[in-house]
Amino acid sequence: MGDRFDLFPLLDKQDIIRTYEEIEPSNVGLLKILGLTNSRESQLEILLQFIDAGVIGIGFDGNVFLYNENAKKIIGLEDEQVINEDGIKLFEQIPFEHVLKTMKSEEEKLVKIDGYDVVATVNPIRHSGKLYGAVAIIRKYVDMEKQEHILRRQLIGHGHNAKYNFDDIIGKSNLINECKSIAKRMSKSDSSILVTGETGTGKELFSQAIHNNSKRKKYQFVAVNCGAFPENLLESELFGYEEGAFTGARKGGKPGLFELAHKGTLFLDEITEMPMNLQVKLLRALQERQIVRIGGDRLIDVDIRIIAATNKDIKKLVSKGDFRQDLFYRLNVLPLKIPPLRDRKEDILFLAEYIIKRFKSNFSFTDAAKEMLIEYDWSGNVRELRNCIEYLVNLELDTIDLKDLPFDMHDYFRNEDEGPLQDIMVEFLETAGNNIRKYIFVLDELEKGYLSNKRLGRRSISETAKKKGVFISEQEIRTILINLEKFSMAEIYKGRSGTLITEAGRLTLKHLTMSQNP
């Protein structure tokens, strides 16, 4: 065999051919080179069985001298049908003859053997210009795909995976159910999807559900926020780089997210934040289904499904020239618009109850609090609702009233055309009618009582009115207090325990005072 024969490369990814290049030659031909001593032969045979590929060796005369177990599984022939037979004729699909003639390697040749796609790499066995034969390393293409998938998962780690399915999208409104129905149909296609919607509507949630409902679900869901990286870093993240491509580049280079998402889904969040020059490169990658790493010149095939998302008006950006029109059309093959929470009011309390249970809490809302939840604008959508519920959970109350909610109602008393509580205010003002100044007086007294940590009865309010020269009867005060409670602006306690202004009442007073004294 020779003193320089190194067994360890056989276990390495470089395959058996690297071992043969280390063989010490002699003048007795190929068999002598292979070292047919009992110990070396046994070692070679054992090691060949550990190689995760088929290995076929032929001499310069074309006869087969090497044929391992994995080759048998791929080829389907036994030793006696192969060893010492003419390998060039027997394996005509494998380019043995070309390699022997040219003494040049054939890398990753895709051939058909026994009905399977097989990738064959054939290398000449030579030394000092003399040809001794050739060795083929063969693998089933499907096995290589599985191995690459395993390696990609290891490279990506646990940060890139799709956790959610359509069952995780909660809601009972027609709007959300129709959106889910459309998304399910889209998941059966391989065309690009552009998901639009306000922040917090669940764009990535829908994207993950689409992936998990598609034929690509066994492969990676790789997500990247295009607005989270500087321009040069985003390019290297997406397309990868070769060793030495730039200062600080990792030794050996690094695969980009396009490569890591091969066979799976690449989710491009905040796509409108992508710089123009990268939009050009992305468009080319989508059209050619190939990428080139930074600093490299090798075309790498990628088979991915693109889902892009944005919370901006992308059509307006296109018209302004801030987003490429051709890329927009390439991405917008299947448009999916997620409705905001304010447009599906019947889902708000339903979602709130669901989130409360997820927090393992159990509290209820007063009617006033429920009405506020339903009428609130929810500019942050489901994400904001979740934050609101988490806040309320930490209050550790059994019942949540209007005053306990974390947002400022005053924001909804802006003008006659704005604010989801405007209808309530209109009804309140109609109820007050010409007595609005009396309502303001009662609210103002209740506010003073609140600041003094006192509950006020109608008798004490009546006495204060007489002192201030305000003409209002005790019966009128009683009616006003009842109406204020009706609109959740005051809370009347039983017996003679008095009345306390609520947060809604305080904010209403502030609004009315500003309106009366512009």
Helices (H), 332-435: 348-358, 367-375, 381-395, 422-432
Q: Distance between CA 195 and CA 349 in Å, rounded?
A: 25
- pLDDT digits over 84-122, tens only? 889 888 888 888 888 888 888 888 888 887 777 888 899
Helices (H), 433-473: 436-451, 458-468
Q: Distance between CA 105 and CA 95 in Å, rounded?
A: 9
Please report, as a single letter, which amino acid is at residue 186.
M
What is the CB neighbour count within 10 angstroms for residue 514?
A: 11
**Per-residue DSSP letter, 201:** S
Q: Distance between CA 485 and CA 458 in Å, rounded?
A: 14
Please report, as a single letter, which amino acid is at residue 424.
I
CA 469, 474, 477, 481 dihedral sign is positive
Q: Distance between CA 443 and CA 477 in Å, rounded?
A: 10
Going by CATH, does the domain composed of 422-516 fall within 3.30.465.10?
A: no
- The parts of the chain modelled with pLDDT lower than 70 are 1-50, 141-160, 247-248, 407-423, 514-518
Structure-derived torsion over alpha carbons of residues 301, 305, 310, 316, reported in degrees to the nearest 10: 80
Helix (H/G/I), strand (E/B), else coil: 14: coil
Q: Distance between CA 194 and CA 273 in Å, rounded?
A: 14
Q: Distance between CA 512 and CA 248 in Å, rounded?
A: 63
Domain ranges of the chain: 8-139, 166-337, 342-407, 422-516
- pLDDT, residue 515, reads 58
Cα–Cα distance list, 491 to 406, 426, 486, 496, 505 (Å) = 19, 21, 9, 13, 10
Q: Distance between CA 375 and CA 132 in Å, rounded?
A: 84
CATH number of 342-407: 1.10.8.60
For the chain, what is the radius of gyration of the CA atoms? 37
Q: Distance between CA 484 and CA 512 in Å, rounded?
A: 14
- Where b means 16+ CB within 10 Å and e means fewer, 115-125 reads eeebbbbbbbb
Report CA 428 to chain centroid distance, whole Å: 46
What is the CB neighbour count within 10 angstroms for residue 370?
A: 16
- Model pTM greater than 0.85? no
CATH number of 8-139: 3.30.450.20
What is the CB neighbour count within 10 angstroms for residue 239?
A: 23
The architecture that CATH gives domain 166-337 is: 3-Layer(aba) Sandwich (3.40)
- pLDDT, residue 3, reads 37
**Per-residue DSSP letter, 120:** E
With tokens 């306690």, the residue in question is 493
Structure tokens at 221: 């869901």
CA 101, 106, 109, 114 dihedral sign is positive
Please report, as a single letter, which amino acid is at residue 197.
G
Cβ 68 vs Cβ 77: under 8 Å: no
Cβ 142 vs Cβ 131: under 8 Å: no
